[in-house]
Amino acid sequence: MTTRVFQTITASACEKLLSRCFSTSSGNVGASAAAVAKWPEHQLNIAHALKKSDERESFRYLSNQPVEALQGIGPKHAEELKSLNLKTVQQLADYKFFHLARAMTVLSTVEEEGGRLDNTLMNINKGLDKASEKKALKELIHQPVHILQGISPQAGETLASLGVKTVEDLANFKFCQWAESIVVAAKFEEEV
């Protein structure tokens, strides 16, 4: 009887060890082993963007995780992002102000100084405060983020605490960029 108990404990301990070696935080023990078997020579990884515990996860899984899955977002930054209603990687990827800031920053590179023709219709008035509507993109991207319609001065302060002070800073905010890239990559991911 003593031997049988010992064998059970040993088997259980062995199972736990294997689980630690091949499990992911989603609890999908077989997925990592299956991925190794299916794609043994794949080198793709985003180790510098994720916490160690999430490095084996799929892009799909990561999309639905809390922002803390991203390396560099600890409890303090997570709380600041939550105050902006950005709780998951998906929400960070979809942050409308990030998308507007990035569009403005990208388009500023093709803006010609004094090149607006008479009767031109293009504008982004729905995205800017009234005082900023007539400015050039090259000027707007260096303005504080609270010029974006819907970002309060308090939200601007929260973003500033994360290192985002200008529209251009928001366009280049690495956590939004990583989140968006994870969500896009998930659309092209083959399931194991």
Structure token digits, residue 107? 């388009």
Q: Are 55 and 35 in contact (CB under 8 A)?
A: no
CA pair distance 141, 135, nearest whole angstrom: 10
Render the burial of 117-147: b for 16+ CB within 10 Å, e for the rest: eeeeeeebeebbeeebeeeebeebbebbbbb
**What is residue 25's predicted lDDT score, i.e. its pLDDT?**
52
pLDDT tens string, the chain, 192 residues long: the values are: 444 444 444 555 444 444 444 445 555 555 666 666 677 788 899 999 999 999 999 999 999 999 999 999 999 999 999 999 999 999 999 999 999 999 999 999 999 998 899 999 999 999 999 999 999 999 999 999 999 999 998 999 999 999 999 999 999 999 999 999 999 999 999 987
- Residue 135 phi, psi dihedral angles, 5° rounding: -80, 155
**What is residue 115's predicted lDDT score, i.e. its pLDDT?**
87
Sign of the C-alpha dihedral, residues 72, 76, 79, 83? Answer: negative
- Residue 117 phi, psi dihedral angles, 5° rounding: -80, 155
**What is residue 7's predicted lDDT score, i.e. its pLDDT?**
47
